């Protein structure tokens, strides 16, 4: 029993204390811990990609319906605010997508700084889409749901 206690204390000490080369010994990380450490940043990055203006399909299937829904909700609570509500929701969804991608990507890739050129391209694309949405609303092609 005494030998087992000594062996246990020696094995615990090797985790906390440096070895002969001066490096600390840490047990290898198991696969479940690696999965947990990568899952959240990967999920946030994926949600950010879906919301961001970097994919061509997200506006038709995600951002425009979401912006329309939030613009309609704004019009329900504050009549006459459909246009500003829809444009604001569209911009917030794009901005959230870019920020989610930056957060998740920096965690996945090891804290690399974002590329300014890519951010400006995303902002320019968002401005073009916003102008198109505004014109569609102005021409009466996009209207709030009538309650």
Under 8 Å CB-to-CB from 56, ≥6 apart: which residues? Answer: none
Extents of the domains making up the chain: 39-138
Per residue of the chain (147 residues), what is the pLDDT tens digit?
A: 555 545 545 554 445 555 555 555 555 666 777 777 778 888 999 999 998 877 778 888 998 899 999 999 999 999 999 989 998 998 889 888 888 888 888 888 776 656 677 677 767 877 887 788 888 888 988 877 776
At residue 137, the pLDDT reads 84
Is the CB of residue 15 less than 8 Å from the CB of residue 26? yes
At residue 71, the pLDDT reads 93
At residue 57, the pLDDT reads 82
Under 8 Å CB-to-CB from 146, ≥6 apart: which residues? Answer: none
pLDDT tens digit sequence for 112-131 = 656 677 677 767 877 887 78
Percent with pLDDT over 70 in the chain: 74
At residue 1, the pLDDT reads 55
Helices H / strands E in the chain, number of each? 6, 0
């Amino acid at each position: 029993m005494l030998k087992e206690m000594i062996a246990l204390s020696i094995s615990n000490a090797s985790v906390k204390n440096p070895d002969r080369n001066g490096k600390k010994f840490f047990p290898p990380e198991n696969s479940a811990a690696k999965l947990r450490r990568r899952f959240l940043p990967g999920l946030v990055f994926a949600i950010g990609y879906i919301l961001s203006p970097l994919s061509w399909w997200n506006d038709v299937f995600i951002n425009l319906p979401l912006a329309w829904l939030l613009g309609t909700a704004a019009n329900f609570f504050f009549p006459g605010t459909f246009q500003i509500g829809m444009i604001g929701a569209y911009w917030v969804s794009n901005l959230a997508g870019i920020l989610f991608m930056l957060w998740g990507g920096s965690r996945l890739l090891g804290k690399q700084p974002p590329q300014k050129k890519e951010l400006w391209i995303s902002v320019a694309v968002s401005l073009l889409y916003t102008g198109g949405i505004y014109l569609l609303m102005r021409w009466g092609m996009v209207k709030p749901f009538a309650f």
